[in-house]
Every structure is written in structure tokens, then in C-alpha cells.
Amino acid sequence: MHVDMKECSSLQAGHPFRQRCAHSAYSHARLQQEAPVFLLLLDCVWQLWRQFPLALGFSEALLLRLATEAYASDYGTFLCSSHQERCALGVTDNTHCLFRALLRPGERDCYSNPLYEPTELAIWPSVHPQALQLWRGGLGQLGVGLAQKLRKQYGIDNVILSDIKKPSHHVFTSGPFVYADVLDYKHLRELIVNYRVTWLIHYSALLSAVGEANMAQAREINIRGLHNVLDLALENCLRLFVPSTIGAFGPSSPRDPTPDLCVQRPQTIYGVSKVHGELMGEYLHHKCGLDFRCLRYPGVISVSAPPGGGTTDYAVQIFHDALTTGHHECYLRPDTRLPMMHISDCHRATIEFMQAPESQLSLRTYNIAAMSFTPEEVAQEIRKHVPHLKVTYKPDVVRQKIADSWPMRFDDTNARRDWGWASAFKLEELVSDILRSIRDKRTTDGLPAS
């Protein structure tokens, strides 16, 4: 079976996308008309794709792209609720078509299935519950970029990237990639032994907002997964890096500034699991000599991959909105101050910290800081480049509550003193760099740049 992407556009004519996907996938406010019908359709196609890996001409990446675009898109393909409405508003004349973009040679290669074998025979999928699997997808916001930087320093073949999700064509061809589930202890051990691993950077986690919506899964991945990694690091004498976060603090911590050592009573499963990680790592360092290293990252701002469901995600989305619709609806209050960092500072801090001699480290868990801003302040800075940006505020109860319990500013004196940490990006540089990167990417993709 082969699906021509153009055929998919007939689906858009007959489906009320505006009503069904009115809010972002992470929104907690639901309208009556809202329903993940399109997502369910994509899931059905994915179940077919998994049961018949040779039968479909496209890859899982295409389904993930469509799922993302249905909720937030640079294209007009999923606008409005009917064909009539689309014609009346001139959507086809005034916007770009996603499917046409996906058919360009470079894009097409990323989304085609290399195993595809056309057949005239009908396929009969099994609908037994045992035959259906949970669908996950997409690699992490931070991992891919860090692997790229490490490969530049240590050689492509010396850095192995792993995840439970299928990598994009680009990631798969840019260096070694293996499937590894942090919950599968035996398989992780096999990989560590076979690849003669010496450093382990453990990024797998469910982030704050997603974790709150899936408490049991967050506990499993963030705590049981961490224990597997700690045991393996100990057993194989690895240097282990585990990131922590501003979310490891709670409302009873000093918030402005927050020092390295103070009360930590977070109110999310994400925060609780991160404090657990910090304490277990430090305990095993003192008791058994484990070379455990942990940095508490602020909210990280990047454009290369979509954010993974954290509370600071607005600070990424606002840049895209500024250059597309010119309007950003913020799920936090305008005065919500949080520590933030450019992704290249985050990667550099991680590498410098991993390279620091043990003798320089007076702590095993450090805060790192770069800047701290509110939605209003970042919007003001963006308006210096995009004067027409309009921001409206519709605080989301869950995310606002999380943000109100987090540090407003990080004190990173110890990191600066012990291993020479210094950030390169302040708000001004961050804003112009992120806007430039998004503009460049849009130009490469053949989209209008502002």
C-alpha cells in the first residue's frame, strides 16, 4: 500500500481541524468540540505500519510530523473547519501547503520507508489488543545537539546516541545510534560492555508538564531508569552525568536567588525524581566512589528540536510565533520570572563540567545560570527585531502553579569558582541568535522568513 501525500490533502478538506485541534496538545482547557480524531487516525496508520513494515511507502517520521503540524504549523494545510471555509478565506492562495513541501526531494527522502516493497496483495491487520502497541516518537531536545558537539571533540564513532524512538534520517546517518530502553537493565549492560563505554550521559526523562499528566510513567522512567543507570555506572566504573533542573526546587526554597544547597521540596513528580537522582548520585559518590556529576539546568532555549513538554516551553514557542503569525498566546502570567539558557551554553557547560578534574569539584550537583526573564521581558526584546509581535496571556493552571514554585534566579557562584563556568549568552544575544536561526531554517525550507 502506498499513500500519495497529495491524497492526504483530501482528508484535510473533510475534517474540522480548527474545532478538533483548537488548543495545543499540552493544553488542559478542552472545548466540547475538541477531540484527537486525527491523532487517532494517525495512530491506526502507525499500527498498520508496525505490523506490516514493508507495506507502506512512508516512515513513522511522516506520521509524527503530521501529528505535530495538526496542532501548530507554519503551513495553511490544517487551518479552518471545512473546505467551504477554507475557500472563503483564501487559505490555498495565501498560505503554503505542507504536502507540497513534504514532496520536495530532500524532505521526501526523510519521510520515505527504505524497506517499502509495493504489493498488490491486501493486508489484514490484527486488531487483538496484544497486537497493538503504544506509539512514541521523536528524539530529545538536548541529546542530539550534545552528541554533535561531543563527536566534534572526540570523533564520530566514539559517541553513541541512544533512545527508544526512531531517529530521523539525519540523526541516523550522522553517527552511531542504538536502540536502548533505560528500563531494560540487561540490554543496557550489554551495550556498555560491547561498546566499551566510559562516560554515560543520561538524558532520558519525562519532563515537568508531561510528567504531571503521566505520573506512573514518569516515576518508572525518571526513577527506575535512573537506578539502572546508577547501578551500571558503578559496576563498570563509568563517569556518569545526570541533568537536574530548576524543577528540583519548590515553594519553600529561596527563590531569588536559589543557592546550590537549600531546602528542596518540589511539588511535581519530575522535581521529586530529580532530587532523588541528585541524592542517590551523591550518596553513591561518597559511599562507593562513583564519579557522579549533575548540573541543574535552567529552561533551555533551542530551535533544532521541538520542546519535550516542560514549563519553560513558551520561551521557545514565542520566537516561532513572532516570525509566523505575529501573535503568541502565553500560558504563563506576564511577570513569571524563570532562569533560562541558550542551548549552546547548556552543551558547553555539560562538556566543560564532564572534563573538569575531580580534584576541582567541591560539589557533585551545581546550579548553572545565564539569564532570567519574564514573558513580558522576552517579548519586549523580540519586538526590537519584530515590532508587530502581539502577546496575549491565558495562564494555564497547571503550568502556572509549577512556575510559581520554581526559582526566579539561580545562584551559580560555586560552578564559577570550582570549574570556571561562565555563560556566553545574555538575553539580547539569545534573542537575536534564536531569531536568526529560525529565519535561516525557514529560508532553507522555502518559507517566508518573517
The CB-of-288 to ligand NAD minimum distance in angstroms stands at 23
Residue 301 · residue 342 · CB < 8 Å: yes
Residue 143 · residue 343 · CB < 8 Å: no
Q: Which is nearer to ligand NAD, 139 or 230 (CB)?
A: 139
* CA dist., res. 348 & res. 422, Å (int): 10
Q: Of the candidates 205, 233, 323, 415, which one interacts with ligand NAD according to CB under 6 A?
A: 205
Instruction: Return the range that interacts with ligand NAD (CB under 6 A); candidates 9-17, 47-55, 170-178, 294-302.
Output: 294-302
Give catalytic status of residue 75 as yes or no: no
Q: Of the candidates 76, 175, 211, 243, which one interacts with ligand NAD according to CB under 6 A?
A: 243
Instruction: Assess 299 for contact with ligand NAD (CB under 6 A).
Output: yes
Footprint (CB under 6 A) of ligand NAD, residues 360-389: none
Question: Is the dihedral angle over the CA atoms 402, 403, 408, 412 positive or is it negative?
Answer: positive
Instruction: Assess 139 for contact with ligand NAD (CB under 6 A).
Output: yes
CA distances from 256 to 340, 384, 406, 409 (A): 14, 28, 10, 5
Residue 197 · residue 157 · CB < 8 Å: no
**Rounded to the nearest 5 degrees, what angle is found at the Cα of 167, between the Cα atoms of 163 and 168?**
160
Question: Is the dihedral angle over the CA atoms 409, 415, 420, 423 positive or is it negative?
Answer: negative
Which residue, among 215, 360, 205, has the nearest Cα to 277 in the 3D structure?
A: 205
Q: Of the candidates 70, 142, 275, 368, which one interacts with ligand NAD according to CB under 6 A?
A: 142
Cβ-closest residue to ligand NAD?
Answer: 308
Instruction: Assess 218 for contact with ligand NAD (CB under 6 A).
Output: no
Question: Could you give the string, one character per residue 306-345, with x where binding to ligand NAD holds by CB under 6 A and - elsewhere?
Answer: --x-x-x---------------------------------
Footprint (CB under 6 A) of ligand NAD, residues 150-169: 163-165
Which residue, among 217, 234, 214, has the nearest Cα to 225 in the 3D structure?
A: 217
* CA dist., res. 26 & res. 116, Å (int): 34
Instruction: Return the range that interacts with ligand NAD (CB under 6 A); candidates 118-126, 168-176, 201-209, 390-398.
Output: 201-209
Size of the site for ligand NAD (CB under 6 A): 25
Q: Which is nearer to ligand NAD, 26 or 99 (CB)?
A: 26
The CB-of-203 to ligand NAD minimum distance in angstroms stands at 4
Q: What is the largest CA-CA distance in the chain?
A: 70
Catalytic residue chosen out of the listed positions 71, 270, 314, 366: 270
Instruction: Assess 245 for contact with ligand NAD (CB under 6 A).
Output: yes
**Residue numbers annotated as active site:** 270
